Amino acid sequence: MDLIFLTELAINGALTGLLYSLFAIGLVLIYKASSVPNLAQGGLTMLAAYVVLALARDVGMPLWVAIPLAALLMFGLGFGIERVALRRLAGRPVIMILMMTLGLDIFLRGATLAIWGGTSRSVELGVGYDPLLLGDIFISRIHLVGAAVAIALFGAFLVFFRSRTGIKLRAIADDYMASWSVGISVERGVGLSWALASVVAVAAGVIWGEIQGVDQALSLLLLKGLTVAVLGGLDSILGAIIAGIILGIVENVGAEFLDPLVGGGSRELIVAAVLILTVMIRPHGLFGRHDIERV
């Protein structure tokens, strides 16, 4: 294989992986506060994209107004989810909360289908489809923009989790009862994590809505986001970024070799293999905290 073409595959794969990290960051935010993977992040991302489109096309707002307003609405929705659905499950087994997030994802997919139908729509950001040229290497403009957004969010949340509020969220994830005992509002902390994850869903929904359109398939990208989160460590924002780059490169380069052999469709196979191997070999991920309990 030509070295230039291989480099192009690796660069564009890394950029795609950073777009997967937009899902993973949402998962990490909630896991850091509640120690529960949020299986509804795909549904939230799809809903956020539909909300942006509704504000921009149906209401007629400029996109630069629709996106921040959608982020504000999704921020409120995140708090509402915690208040209505999750607060009642405080102290219950983790599997019950996990099933609640799965049920929420199914509900959001059904609700968006009922309201907006199944026709695919596109978020038009005006980035342009002409690739950038780096020597002889073609780079996707929208992937480059999405990667920049992912890195910016990483920097913002890295600072946030070192702030007083961020430290409280980390304390809540460590021990609910200890947090309550020192006066930390666990409910408010978990609600904030859902609100922030819902804002991240707006960024993911807008970028991916430009790339592949806004429809029910958008929520299925959660599998790749979950793989990134597990590979990087479910409690690590840095892990979400680095694991996204790794998965994107492995997926893009690996598919180029495997697709001719199996007739296509090897991308999903590679992602599933990475997820299974990570859980088997290093279940806490590359950068996740490895807790050892005495039994």
Res 1: pLDDT: 57
Q: Can you state the angle between helices 3-34 and 164-174, rounded to 10 degrees?
A: 80
pLDDT at 117 over 60: yes
Give mean pLDDT, residues 129-144: 85
Extract the tokens encoding 218: 């958008």
Structural domain contains residue 71: yes
* Residue 120 placed within a domain: yes
The verdict on residue 276 lying in a domain is no
| Structural domain containing residue 159 | 15-217
- Where is average pLDDT lowest: 111-120, 160-169, 220-229? 160-169
Which residues are CB-neighbours of 5 under 8 A, at least 6 positions away?
A: none
**pLDDT value, residue 87:** 78
Quote the CA–CA distance of 131 and 143 in Å, as a whole number: 10
The answer to whether 219 and 204 have CB atoms below 8 angstroms apart is no
In a domain, 270, yes or no: no
The answer to whether residue 75 sits within a structural domain is yes
Residue 93 pLDDT exceeds 90: no
Q: Is 254 part of a structural domain of the chain?
A: no
Residue 232 located in a structural domain: no
Could you please report the per-residue DSSP string of 5-61? HHHHHHHHHHHHHHHHHHHHHHHHHHHHHHS---TTHHHHHHHHHHHHHIIIIIS--
Q: What is the pLDDT of residue 292?
A: 43
Number of domains, the chain: 1
Is residue 124 in some structural domain?
yes
pLDDT at residue 295 is higher than 50: no
Rounded Cα distance between 162 and 149, Å, is 20
Helical ranges in the chain per DSSP H: 3-34, 41-53, 63-81, 94-116, 141-160, 164-174, 176-181, 186-212, 222-232, 237-262, 266-281
The band of 94, judged by pLDDT with boundaries at 50, 70 and 90, is: confident
How confident is residue 291, by pLDDT bands cut at 50, 70 and 90?
low
